Structure 1
Amino acid sequence: MDADSENDFREFVDHRSPALLRTAMLLSGGDRHAAEDLLQSALMKVAGRWHRVEDPEAYVRQVLYRQQIGIWRVRGRRRELTVASPPEGRSADGAGAAELRVLMRQALGRLTQRQRTVLALRYFEDLPEGEVARLLGCSVGTVRSTTHRSLAKLRRVAPELFTTEADHSGPCHELSSVEVQR
């Protein structure tokens, strides 16, 4: 990589890493370490092809999605979400924004990796079903059925998300509010 390309790549990483890390967090079920690893390996792959990449952000996101699919195939479904400390219970005065993010992160952790990915692509990335199908290498019908089943499972495993004050926008709106904590 020449000096100009390297500077362009470094600038891209500096400016877009926070947004890309949020996507990686959603794909990894809220596991920050796994998200950082996922993003780092995606950026390493992109660095080698930087001079040929026309739309860097779209390309990095596609590499993230494809790598996560590879992780599913290798590891299978993860049984539990590992966090540094247990989240506090809900307060009596209603769920605040932080509590709602914790609930959403826990609920997403109960979904399969494929279900999380489909919801992240559809609602966080706001991609149309056809684009999600293309990225995941499946049919539009598979995306629709996976979305339907994922939302139904969220309703079963985390009914508290559907009884909060934020219910007017639904849990998928909260996918875009899941923030990366440093």
Structure 2
Amino acid sequence: MDHSSTTDPASPGPLDFLDFSAARAGHLYKTAYLLTGGDAHLAEDLVQEALSRMYVRWHRLSRLENPAGYAQTVLVNTFLSMRRKRSNTERVTHEFPEIAVTDTDPTLRVTMLQALQQVSPQDRAVLVLRFWEDRSVEETATALHLSATAVRSRSHRALARMRVLLGESFAERLSC
């Protein structure tokens, strides 16, 4: 099967999507890993699903000003959609992922991932976009189809919940 572009050299072809997905997959995976609470396999599935949704519409999406930002939005929406489906019965286990961790403090990472698992998927999405992705309130609101006020209040409540889950001694450790 020929994977070259169509006869119009200006139109994007499958190779354009392959380049895009190869360049963005790592970043998408990191976000998905946090959204899923540290489930490496579910994160891979999430990235694959988001990229497949983009591939179907790639002829239009490649012309967007920021297809990478759109990919992040598709990833988050796919995550939220997967969490809403009742047919999704997979659950995260307490086993460590198969990837090597090079953190200076693996206990910190595990504790944070466990705490993230205990907040609602919508709150987790807000926390990941606001504080991991370093997006503004407005960008987060747009990505999640919420108002800026809703993002602020969810951020406030989710951070308070994380503080309760992590405890005072852990909060002091983070401020070092």
- Asked whether the two chains share a fold, i.e. TM above 0.5, the reply is yes
2:134 counterpart letter in structure 1: D
Instruction: Provide the C-alpha distance between the structure 2 equivalents of 1:36 and 1:154, rounded to a whole number of angstroms.
Output: 25
Match 1:108 to one of 101, 112, 116: 116
Structure 2 gap ranges (5+): 6-12, 98-102
1:146 corresponds to 2:161: no
1:162 corresponds to 2:163: no
Matches within 5 A, 1:68-147: 68-75=79-86, 81-85=92-96, 96-147=104-155
The SS at the match of 1:3 is coil
Q: CA deviation at 1:96?
A: 4.2
1:22 corresponds to 2:23: no
Match 1:66 to one of 64, 73, 77: 77
Q: Give 1:3's aligned residue.
A: 4
1:157 counterpart letter in structure 2: L
Q: Give 1:173's aligned residue.
A: none
Match 2:68 to one of 57, 61, 64: 57
Name the CA shift for 1:121/1:75 in 2 (closer, same or farther; >3 Å).
farther
2:67 counterpart letter in structure 1: P
Name the CA shift for 1:148/1:125 in 2 (closer, same or farther; >3 Å).
same
Instruction: Provide the C-alpha distance between the structure 2 equivalents of 1:24 and 1:85, rounded to a whole number of angstroms.
Output: 16
Contact 1:118 1:132 in 2 (8 A): yes
1:34 corresponds to 2:35: no
Moved over 4 A (4+): none
- TM-score when scaled to structure 1? 0.77
Instruction: Provide the C-alpha distance between the structure 2 equivalents of 1:138 and 1:85, rounded to a whole number of angstroms.
Output: 33
Instruction: Provide the C-alpha distance between the structure 2 equivalents of 1:61 and 1:73, rounded to a whole number of angstroms.
Output: 19
Instruction: Provide the C-alpha distance between the structure 2 equivalents of 1:115 and 1:153, rounded to a whole number of angstroms.
Output: 10
The structure whose RCO (Cα within 8 Å, separation 6+) is larger is: 1
Q: Percent identity between the aligned chains? A: 37
Contact 1:104 1:161 in 2 (8 A): no
- TM-score when scaled to structure 2? 0.79
Instruction: Provide the C-alpha distance between the structure 1 equivalents of 2:93 and 2:136, rounded to a whole number of angstroms.
Output: 31
1:19 counterpart letter in structure 2: H
1:67 counterpart letter in structure 2: T
Deviations 1:85-130 (A, max 9, x none): 49xxxxxxxx942221111111111111111100011011111111
